Chains A and B, each alone.
Chain A
Amino acid sequence: MDALKFADLIKRSGDKAYNFAYRLAGNEPDARDLLQEAFAKAFEHGDSYDTLRPFDSWLLRILHNVFLDSMRRHSHSRTVSLDAPTPVEDAGWADLLPEDSPRPGDELVKRESLDILQRAMERLPPAYKASVTLRDIEDLSYEEIAAVMDIPIGTVRSRIHQGRLLLRKAYEALEKSGGMRS
């Protein structure tokens, strides 16, 4: 890929990609590593980029794959299998998430804390975290998310919903515990 053109793409897509990387990684050092590796792969495989399609989506797809690779390489203490069944089907999620509690409703917004939200996001399994991030933060359509994550639309729909349920549960638990880091 032409280096000068690539410099322009870094400027135009950098913020969006970094935001996605940060939400996936949950911290700045890992987000930086993810972004650098994603750009390196994009640069290396620039010839395979279809210029008729948005560069952003292509880059986010690479970034997502880099993230999944890194998750496979390193077993994080709070991370579960990437292929784990949905929480609805598997009681094992009880280890990851707290017990049922009253739904937040209006209270969620009233007691909103961005710090708690970020930590609740960190508790989500990668597939759900990516789905919710792409939909609610990056504002991608279901079709775009399917392309980035390379999954069917039906799976996107399911993961977004399950991700929101898990996020709500994790958020409540953190709030309940006074926002203390676990």
Chain B
Amino acid sequence: MNERKHTQGPEISAFLDGALAGKDRVRVDAHLAACPACRAESESLRQLKMTVRAAPRKRMPADLALALERRFVRSQPWWRANSRPAFWVPAGTMAAAALLAGFWMRSTGAADEVPLEPLLTAHARYSAEALVPEENLVASTYSDQLTALYANSSDAELE
């Protein structure tokens, strides 16, 4: 009976893919065993399938992975990129407050004795620990201003 009616093509493919179950699988299996034409077709498709499977997989180029990370992770504002409750928030707040206080005291001449070095240290520590994306730090001019102030201050002391 199986020999008379050939198995439909999609059934052969599904059989090869293990996508047939129960009676369907038994029926196609029996037909392939008894029908040379369908068996030859099945073997041809099986070899084609193996050929396709043997094709080497393409891996994502490293530069593309880096570009994606830059685009979707590093480009995010730091308060979004790092969703963990930040341990550095208090430290950052204190450092910023100290920085502002230093500027205020300096601008008012209230404390020429205030050393800038601890402020620089606090700023550097905050920058290192805060996991702020590098580009965000570069975008800020506070570091440059502070460094310039410190340099001028040192020059003045030398003179």
Contact = CB atoms under 8 A, between A and B. Distances in A.
Interface stretch (A10-18, A48-56, A89-97): A10-18
Interface string A30-65: 011001100110010000000000000000000000
B124 interface: no
Nearest to B10: A161
B55 A117 contact: yes
A104 B44 contact: yes
B9 A165 contact: yes
Contacts of A114: 55-56
Given A3-B80, A108-B44, A161-B9, A135 B68 contact: no
A10 B72 contact: yes
A167 B48 contact: yes
Contacts, number: 123
Contacts of A112: 51, 54
A133 to B, nearest CB: 8
Interface string B68-86: 1101110010001111000
B23 to A, nearest CB: 17
B17 interface: yes
Contacts of B4: none
B13 A164 contact: yes
A39 B81 CA distance: 16
B67 interface: yes
A105 B13 contact: no
Contacts of B13: 157, 160-161, 164
Contacts of A10: 65, 68-69, 72
Interface residues of B, number: 40
Interface string B14-36: 10010100000000000000000
A132 B81 contact: no
B64 interface: yes
Contacts of B45: 164, 168
A69 interface: no
A35 B64 contact: yes
Contacts of B51: 108-109, 112, 117
A136 B49 contact: yes
B48 A108 contact: yes
Interface of B: 9-10, 12-14, 17, 19, 40-41, 43-45, 47-61, 64-65, 67-69, 71-73, 76, 80-83
Given A103-B40, A164-B13, A164-B48, 8 more contacts: A4-B81, A15-B60, A40-B71, A105-B43, A109-B51, A117-B55, A160-B14, A168-B45
Interface of A: 2-4, 6-7, 10-11, 14-15, 17-19, 22-23, 28, 31-32, 35-36, 39-40, 43, 103-106, 108-109, 112, 114, 117-118, 132, 135-137, 139, 141-142, 157-158, 160-161, 164-165, 167-168, 171
27 contacts: A4-B81, A10-B65, A11-B65, A14-B65, A15-B59, A15-B60, A28-B61, A31-B58, A35-B60, A36-B67, A104-B47, A105-B44, A105-B47, A106-B47, A109-B47, A112-B54, A132-B52, A137-B53, A137-B57, A142-B19, A157-B14, A158-B10, A160-B10, A160-B14, A160-B17, A161-B12, A161-B14
